[in-house]
Amino acid sequence: MNAAPVLCQRPGCKVAETGACDLKHDPVELCPHFGKSAQPSQVASEAPPPKPQRAVSAVGISSGETMEMEDLEVFSRGHRIRTVSVIGEPRSGKTTLIAAIYASLCKGPIGDRDFVGSRTLVGFARRHHMALLNSERKSPKTPRTSRDDPTAFFHLALRPNTGRAVSHLIISDRSGEAYQAARQDTALVKELAELRLADRACFVLNAAKLTNPERHAGYSRQFKQMIYALRDNGAFRDDVAIEVLATKIDATNRPERAAESAAILADYEARLVEEFKSAGIEFGFHRVCALPKSHLETGYLGLGETLERWTAPPSLPSVVQPAVHDASRQIDRLLAKW
Ligand SMILES: Nc1nc2c(ncn2[C@@H]2O[C@H](COP(=O)(O)OP(=O)(O)OP(=O)(O)O)[C@@H](O)[C@H]2O)c(=O)[nH]1
Ligand SMILES: [Mg+2]
């Protein structure tokens, strides 16, 4: 039988097996002993000396880069995670949204969520760097996520400031070209493996494009097609929650077109909600601004509410017994009345 990997330098700590830190650190990465190999003095003296040729067992030290699928599988064995897949056409604003959530947490709590830790700080910082003015661009701009890049998984450990329970949020980001290709050729849907893990599918709607009269017709159709193409071809689990996040709201607030844009967006929201409700899909529609560069007065918008939804505990299944009609027992007849 293989020995459990060494994850902690404290002799006897069971973190590798149970995922729980002996010193009660949560997340376990906060423990000063986590991720280090045992000190020579701490190794039991009766242990036989290592054979010279044997390779020393590797200790996983997090690089801080985004995780890939294999890393996530290992991580999810030690942590209870909530997973959100951010989905959208190229340049819709997926990566910028993720970078904005990270940037806001750097300044303090967002909504009622406190930042506790992250396995992927370097990955966040890289994305955020390009969206900053000091990346020496004339205006903030996030580089395209390449179609050849594997799906990137970001991690956030968060705690509501009213409670003690830490939630581990995993957010997936992938090139919009891959989602666009799957919309056009549904045989590619099965390649989007991150979507099967998602507790929540977040479809990013580019509000700047939707409210552009020249692009509205085509884009509004394509956006709906993307949701149906993925859902109807088994991309998600049955219990997935679906939300639409209209981003770039600042672009719709420019004074010359604000009223017209607001009306287009409200009308599209009403039609989507109606359509998905009648298709029996649990569905929400929300607005964010992740980078208010077109209309500075808009400011960052909706990030706290987004994080709150993404980390909300899943609703418990109903345990109410279905009513028995024409029951022979008195008690069943009484229950049917209620
Ligand atoms: N005005 C405005 N621009 C935004 C906002 N969010 C993103 N952008 C811009 O939209 C462009 C595309 O953003 P990305 O985050 O790279 O989009 P993406 O969906 O990750 O794109 P791919 O990686 O190609 O799939 C960038 O130039 C961003 O600066 C926003 O809230 N407001
Ligand atoms: Mg991207």
DSSP letter string, 45-113:
TTSPPPPTTSPPPP-----SSPB-HHHHHHHHHHS-EEEEEEE-STTSSHHHHHHHHHHHHHHS-BTTE
Token pair belonging to 274: 């109606």
Tell me if 30 sits within 8 A of 10, measured CB to CB: no
Distance 57 CA to ligand 1 centre (A): 43
Per-residue pLDDT, 43: 47
Mean pLDDT of the chain: 85
Distance 293 CA to ligand 1 centre (A): 11
Tell me if 105 sits within 8 A of 191, measured CB to CB: no
Distance 80 CA to ligand 1 centre (A): 30
Per-residue pLDDT, 4: 55
Residue whose Cα lies nearest atom 8 of ligand 1: it is: 93
Q: Say what the alpha-carbon torsion angle 18, 68, 124, 198 is, to the nearest 10 degrees.
A: -80
Ligand 1 neighbourhood includes 272 CB (under 6 angstroms): no
Ligand having the closest approach to the CA of 140: 1
Q: pLDDT-based confidence at 297, cuts 50/70/90?
A: confident
Q: pLDDT-based confidence at 1, cuts 50/70/90?
A: very low
267 has pLDDT over 90: yes
Peptide bond into 48 cis (omega under 30): no
Ligand 1 neighbourhood includes 240 CB (under 6 angstroms): no
Q: pLDDT-based confidence at 293, cuts 50/70/90?
A: confident
pLDDT in tens, 104-158: 998 888 888 889 999 999 999 988 887 665 455 566 566 676 777 889 999 999 9
Count of beta carbons in the 10 Å neighbourhood of residue 308:
15
Q: Residue written as tokens 């149970």?
A: 18
Instruction: Identify the residue with better confidence: 203 or 37.
Output: 203
Instruction: Say how far apart CA 45 and CA 60 lie, in whole Å.
Output: 25
Across the range 189-216, mean pLDDT stands at: 95
Which atom of ligand 1 is found nearest the CA of 131? 29
Ligand 1 neighbourhood includes 120 CB (under 6 angstroms): no
Ligand 1 neighbourhood includes 172 CB (under 6 angstroms): no
Ligand 1 neighbourhood includes 302 CB (under 6 angstroms): no
Ligand 1 neighbourhood includes 298 CB (under 6 angstroms): no
Instruction: Identify the residue with better confidence: 157 or 165.
Output: 157
CATH superfamily of 69-311: P-loop containing nucleotide triphosphate hydrolases (3.40.50.300)
Tell me if 114 sits within 8 A of 159, measured CB to CB: yes
DSSP 247: E
Candidate from 101-110, 151-160, 184-193, 318-327 with smallest mean pLDDT: 318-327
Q: pLDDT-based confidence at 276, cuts 50/70/90?
A: confident
Ligand 1 neighbourhood includes 141 CB (under 6 angstroms): yes
Sequence ranges of the domains in the chain:
1-48, 69-311
Between the alpha carbon of residue 77 and those of residues 152, 190, 200, 279, 306, the distances in Å are 18, 24, 20, 35, 26
CA torsion sign for 261, 224, 301, 86 is negative
Instruction: Say how far apart CA 5 and CA 86 lie, in whole Å.
Output: 33
Across the range 87-91, mean pLDDT stands at: 95
